[in-house]
């Protein structure tokens, strides 16, 4: 003999028409397909954000450096002070895909990524100009490097104030006048690269500040990522959603038949 608590569900199942059952099954498949497409989008964004965070971490030794407005370095005069270009392909992909497509990213972070891309482009463009200055006349560049070495470029005992005065004195000699102007131009370029583009944490919109804020922001976003996505995309709730939909389907079928 079948217990009453099982007889009732079985009686409900008997009232379901094949057409309604097929319609319900079709709706479930549509929902699962829609859910998968959205879940794939969120998973793709998560991978992209992780790649961006990895790129930020890789540049920690460079963009993590602090260059205050009073920063003065002897190497700024040197043609051997070559800065390598920065590559943040993930940040470009985020912008190309349309950052507003992912609501989990806060507006503040979206704006910083856009500014970060602009700053990186300006940074790399200035590096191209720096190289063009250095390679324009390789003889002058070599003469400048040799002169800087003679003035104490590598010597810790020769401090920047004295070193910069010795550089200024180069313009008083007709034989060193050209390399003096090259030294000043290179110093200006390096000053812009380090102080005006990278700068320090006190200057919003500059690379060090953006790198620090984005590293923290993306790291926090990834840590809370699963919590930010819609509930119906969470794997742990999928079974519950299916069960609830079945119960509702059975109730509706029995109430309206």
pLDDT tens for each residue of 164-201: 999 999 999 988 999 999 999 999 999 999 999 999 88
Q: What is the pLDDT of residue 104?
A: 67
Structure pTM?
Answer: 0.78
Q: Which residues of the chain have pLDDT under 70?
A: 1-16, 98-104, 253, 255-257
Dihedral angle of Cα 222, 226, 230, 235, to the nearest 10 degrees: 150
User: Residues 196-205: contacts with CB within 8 Å, 24+ apart?
Assistant: 197/119, 197/122, 197/123, 197/126, 198/63, 198/65, 198/67, 199/67, 199/68, 199/69, 200/66, 200/67, 200/68, 201/66, 205/115, 205/119
- Which of helix, strand or coil describes residue 227? helix
Domain boundaries, the chain: 17-255
> Under a CB-based contact definition with an 8 Å cutoff, are residues 197 and 123 in contact?
yes
> Under a CB-based contact definition with an 8 Å cutoff, are residues 97 and 135 in contact?
no
Q: How far apart are CA 45 and CA 55, in angstroms?
A: 15
Q: What is the pLDDT of residue 102?
A: 65
> Under a CB-based contact definition with an 8 Å cutoff, are residues 215 and 155 in contact?
no
Q: What is the pLDDT of residue 181?
A: 94
Q: What is the pLDDT of residue 100?
A: 57
Q: What is the DSSP letter of 204?
A: T
Buried b (16+ CB within 10 A) or exposed e, 104-121: bbeeebeebbebbbebbe
Q: What is the pLDDT of residue 2?
A: 40
Q: Name, in order, each residue with C-beta under 8 angstroms of 249's C-beta and a sequence gap of 6 or more.
A: 24
């Amino acid at each position: 003999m079948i217990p009453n608590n099982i007889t009732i569900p079985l009686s409900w199942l008997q009232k379901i028409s094949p057409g309604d059952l097929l319609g319900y099954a079709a709706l479930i498949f549509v929902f699962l397909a829609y859910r998968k497409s959205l879940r794939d989008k969120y998973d793709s964004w998560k991978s992209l954000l992780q790649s961006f965070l990895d790129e930020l971490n890789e540049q920690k030794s460079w963009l993590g450096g602090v260059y205050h407005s009073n920063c003065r370095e002897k190497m700024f005069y040197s043609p051997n002070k070559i800065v390598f270009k920065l590559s943040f392909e993930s940040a470009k992909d985020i912008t190309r895909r349309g950052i507003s497509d992912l609501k989990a990213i806060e507006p503040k972070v979206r704006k910083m990524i856009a500014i970060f891309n602009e700053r990186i482009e300006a940074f790399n463009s200035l590096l191209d100009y720096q190289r063009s200055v250095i390679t324009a006349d390789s003889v002058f560049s070599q003469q400048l490097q040799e002169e800087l070495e003679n003035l104490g470029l590598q010597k810790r005992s020769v401090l920047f104030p004295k070193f910069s005065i010795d550089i200024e004195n180069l313009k008083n000699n007709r034989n060193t006048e050209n390399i003096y102007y090259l030294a000043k131009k290179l110093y200006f370029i390096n000053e812009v690269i380090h102080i005006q583009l990278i700068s320090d944490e006190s200057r919003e919109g500059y690379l060090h500040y953006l790198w620090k804020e984005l590293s923290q922001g993306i790291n926090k976003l990834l840590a809370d990522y699963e919590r930010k996505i819609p509930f119906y995309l969470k794997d742990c709730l999928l079974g519950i959603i299916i069960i609830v939909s079945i119960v509702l389907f059975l109730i509706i079928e029995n109430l309206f038949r």
